[in-house]
Amino acid sequence: MEAMRTFTGRTMADALTAVRRELGTEAVVLHTRSFKTGGVLGIGAKTVVEVTATDGRAVGRRKRAEARRSPRAMALAERREKAVATPAVEPMAGDLIKKTYAAAKAEIHREAGAGDVSSGGGVGVAEPPTMVNGQQTDAVNPVVGPVPVPVPVPEATEELTQELQSVKAMVARVMRSQAGPCPELPKHLVKHYTELIEQEVTGELAEAIVTEARRLMNESELDDEKACHEAVRRTISKYLPVDPEAADFNRPGDGRPRTIALVGPTGVGKTTTLAKLAATFKLKAGRNIAMITLDTYRIAAVEQLRTYAGIIGVPLKVCSNPAELNAAVASFAHFDAVLIDTAGRSQRDADKLVELQEMIESVDPHEVHLVLSSTCTQRVILETIERFARVRTDRLIFTKLDEAVTGGVLLNVAKLVGKRLSYVTTGQEVPHQIEPSDARRLAEVVMGQRMDGTDG
């Protein structure tokens, strides 16, 4: 068990300074309390803040040792050893999608009769001849011969199978969904569909996008790759509920400073994002800004924000309970905006989420932004949103967009959750690499373009 030490001070900041001096910036706060001492019959008593802390490095070492001994960690290690011992060939999803697409279309033709499709009895899909092993083939009569098929990685087999099945189902639905003659789906839209699937956009949503994009286009645009790209981009933009007020730094309030709180799980970059917002408000918009942090658990986080506050030139207060938070907000009544940083909470820690809920409700901010990392899987992001539902959140911030492997999760989550996207961050630099969400720009990311303008 790590040694615990107790420190006292007249204020929380004084106590934390003592913790930092004795235990360093890696110290972890275990418990805080305040009490009265001295005086006669309560008269003249002074408030003392007490902080119990331990060396965070020792905690980290213990947790890492426990993690190495956990059954899950051992199982992962065993899987990695097997993967090294038996190297597998990475599946080429795009090639498999195209082959599945051709096979699915051929199956539909066989069921309905190729003659019916060519005469206008169903929906055709225009696609140029494909070369396989040096031979020309088409979707209806694929060449029969030895075609090398990549060996899927075992962990990805189920997901890849579902993806290919979604492509096949999409072809079937598009070809059967409408009665009577219907214009062909141009090859460029088929290409965009497969690209959206590769970006991990859900099959149903990708199908809806290309179908709607087709309706936006006139006949003269169907063979124009740029026109198809623009139609898909405009359609994706409509599915992205961006916050039009995010860039309005001069928005009038209700007599209070514009109060903005950031909440979210650990490790998503809340503190850095708050510093970027403060710098943007002060340096770019010329607003009078104050900052508050509730993250007294990590001494390093307080020091990090204190450093940012000093560089930007804004005041910072450290609070540990609703009473201190309300007092701090009241002391900043003459400022244009107050930005509140909260401690990272695990989405599985119900007690800590209740504490966070009480903090947020006590101060009633104008905006509560749930900060999410775009490097996480869709399942983790949706679980986080569900667990944080007890805390009033009205906007989403996606961080680390420059590190995201695919852009589809952003669109999937936005469509499922329906909360407005306020800001995105694209790196660690303060005050740069943060921007208000722009539907056109994010649509390009969903289509595979990186935030730096290159293709991912």
- Segment 60-90, tens digit of pLDDT: 666 566 555 656 656 666 665 554 444 444 4
Q: What is the pLDDT of residues 386-436, one digit of tens each?
A: 888 888 899 999 999 988 888 899 999 988 888 899 999 988 776 678 889
Confidence (pLDDT) at 87: 43
pLDDT tens by residue, 171-194:
555 544 443 333 456 788 888 898
pTM of structure: 0.63
pLDDT at residue 117 is higher than 50: no
Instruction: In whole angstroms, give the CA distance from residue 400 to residue 250.
Output: 27
Q: What percent of the chain has pLDDT over 90?
A: 23
